[in-house]
Amino acid sequence: MTDPWEAQREALGAFIREQRKRANLSLRQLAELTSLSNPYLSQVERGLHQPSVRVLKAISGALNVSAETLMAQAGLIDAMTGTDGSADAKADGAADVSAPSMADTEDAIRADQRLSEEQKAALIAVYRSMLGPGSGPVAVKEN
């Protein structure tokens, strides 16, 4: 069974890599902008290291992405705010049956052939971070 923290690190790394590529930066350029080593950033992008808040802030500044977004990707925001991930109920206590389920949304992301596997993993990780903890590790199925 895959460690959920490992999956979180891999999703964070994929997200950082995707943002770096969108910014048209090489790994070496990002290293210079963040004052971090090129090998360390490579390991973060491959999910081998969990970066500190200081490192996430440096990366967010260099990539012009909010620090909160990266911290949510890293699973730090939920831990700091203590959110329980429970869904909001309607005022009358009834569940919204018209809303798609989490599985439907993730299946739609996985089925989108315009996205790379790394983009799918990053998008699912962002989606799950918005739902809160307990939504499970990211696993991208081959179609």
Rounded to whole angstroms, the Cα distance separating 128 from 106 reads 9
The reported pTM is 0.55
CATH number at residue 37: 1.10.260.40
The pLDDT of residue 6 is 82
Segments of the chain scoring below 50 in pLDDT: 1, 79-98, 135, 138, 140, 143
Q: Does some domain include residue 20?
A: yes
Q: What is the pLDDT of residues 32-58, one digit of tens each?
A: 999 999 999 999 999 998 888 899 899
Q: Does some domain include residue 23?
A: yes
Q: Does some domain include residue 54?
A: yes
Q: Does some domain include residue 140?
A: no
Q: Are 64 and 46 within 8 A, CB to CB?
A: no
The pLDDT of residue 72 is 79
The pLDDT of residue 99 is 54
How distant is the alpha carbon of residue 109 from its chain centre? 14
Q: Does some domain include residue 141?
A: no
- Residue 49: count of CB within 10 angstroms of its CB: 16
The pLDDT of residue 80 is 46
Q: How many distinct structural domains can be found in the chain?
A: 1
Q: Does some domain include residue 47?
A: yes
Q: Does some domain include residue 80?
A: yes
**Nearest CA to 5 among 109, 61, 76?**
76
| Domain span holding position 67 | 4-84+97-131
The pLDDT of residue 84 is 42
